[in-house]
Amino acid sequence: MMPLQSNAIESFRKYIFADGILTPTGTNFDVTVQEQGQFGSSDASQFTLLPDPLNINNLKWKTSSVYDQTVGSKQFADSMFYDFQASVLYAYKQLNIAPSYWHMYECHPRTETPNKDIFGVDGTVTNWASITFQSGVCDEACYGNTASTGRVCRASCSKQTYGGDLLLTQGGSLTADGMKQRLVNFGPVLVFTVTEGNRLYYGWNTTGLLYLYRNQQGQLMQTQEEEITQVMNYIISYQFIDCTKDIKVDTPKEDCPCPDSADKAAYKADPRTEVDGICYVRVQPEPEPVPEPKPIVVAAGSIRTSLAVMAVVMLIPLLLMW
């Protein structure tokens, strides 16, 4: 195997997501590529991030229920970014789900600073590296297979939304050894090739690299190759903090997004939501109700006196007529 270069570093950009806008923080999280990664060794004779042996029929993301609903949902699967999200969650979180296109379209940031649209008018994505895990990946089985009215993000599936603590980055060309090193350090690798379409690499055996691809009918297929096809660029992910258990009172929002205050359990569990914490949401006090006017209470004696006076006033004209 080709020795690992000492300066092999992958740099993951941090973002803040607020008001539908994805904004770089100006800081990156740099990871040095190692021969012994968090998932295994690049010197191993065989390695896989997915079940071994792999039965595609057991992958819940084999087919999206909204595959051919729109141009955008079809692109999501055909580009293999759908498979990339699913396989990353499998590798890092041991989850087997079908990522929801509608959750991505409705809940993900709409714009990347400065004033760069992430989605086209038809719901397609220009640059998949802009689709971060920041807003999480929701299980299609929970979010449903229909769009919401007015592209409103539905918050009913917060417990079935995962991966908000994962970062993404993209790189250029890769050799076979470079691919193995990234697989053991970062998990599945989504590759955009010059002539062979998009591929999702997930391991290798004694005869070559293992990858998934989708044929012209959109069906998920698996195969392998001895020599890596020319790589135009690639996307990888990295989890440098587990936001389900490692959050501290000073954990930045760009590292772990703040919980939705509507999700009371998640909000209460996050130590950053204490009063004046970085995730604290100030509750506006309810306006004090305007008291209803009290009826004027008049003493009974006063009422009798008033009636007597009124009677006299009415009788005087009648007496004068006589």
pLDDT tens for 200-217 read 999 999 999 999 999 999
8 A C-beta contact, residue 168 and residue 134: no
Q: Which residue has the higher pLDDT, 17 or 190?
A: 190
| Residue 36, φ and ψ in degrees, nearest 5 | -105, 105
d(CA 210, CA 188): 11
Per-residue pLDDT tens over the stretch 37-56: 999 999 999 999 999 999 99
Peptide bond between residue 53 and the one before it cis (omega within 30 degrees of 0): yes
Q: Pick the closest to residue 146 from 108, 101, 107, 110 (CA basis).
A: 101
- Please say if the pLDDT value at position 192 is more than 90: yes
Token pair 């392998």 is found at 224
Q: Of the candidates 227, 230, 234, 187, which has an alpha carbon nearest to the alpha carbon of residue 209? A: 227
249, 204, 250: which is closest to 228 by C-alpha? Answer: 204
- Beta carbons within 10 angstroms of residue 198's beta carbon: 21
Alpha helices in the chain (DSSP H): 71-78, 81-93, 101-107, 140-143, 176-186, 264-269, 300-321
pLDDT in tens, 78-116: 999 999 999 999 999 999 999 999 999 999 999 998 889
Strands 189-193 and 21-32: unpaired
Q: How far apart are CA 180 and CA 201, in angstroms?
A: 9
Question: Do residues 102 and 135 make contact, with C-beta atoms less than 8 angstroms apart?
Answer: no
pLDDT digits (tens, 9 = 90+) for 110-167: 999 888 999 999 999 999 989 988 889 999 999 999 999 999 999 899 889 999 889 9
pTM more than 0.75: yes
Can you tell me the distance from the alpha carbon of 308 to that of 313, in angstroms, rounded to the nearest whole number?
9
Domains of the chain, first to last: 9-240 (3.90.70)
Using alpha carbons, list the distances in angstroms from residue 85 to 164, 230, 257, 288, 312: 12, 23, 18, 48, 93
State both tokens at 56: 């595609």
Residue 313 CB-half CA count within 13 A: 6
Residue 251 has pLDDT above 90, yes or no: no
Checking if the pLDDT of 255 tops 80, the result is no
pLDDT digits (tens, 9 = 90+) for 272-307: 999 989 999 987 776 777 777 766 655 555 555 555
Classify strands 116-117 and 111-112 as parallel, antiparallel or unpaired: antiparallel
Question: Quick one: pLDDT at residue 24?
Answer: 83
Nearest to 119 by CA among 136, 107, 105: 105
Q: Which pLDDT belongs to residue 322?
A: 56
Tokens of 218: 């959109």
Predicted confidence (pLDDT) at residue 68 exceeds the cutoff of 60: yes
CA 22 – CA 237 distance, rounded (Å): 17
Q: What pLDDT, on a 0 to 100 scale, did the predictor assign at position 171?
A: 95
Specify the pLDDT at position 2. Answer: 47
The CA distances from residue 32 to 4, 7, 256, in Å, are: 10, 7, 22
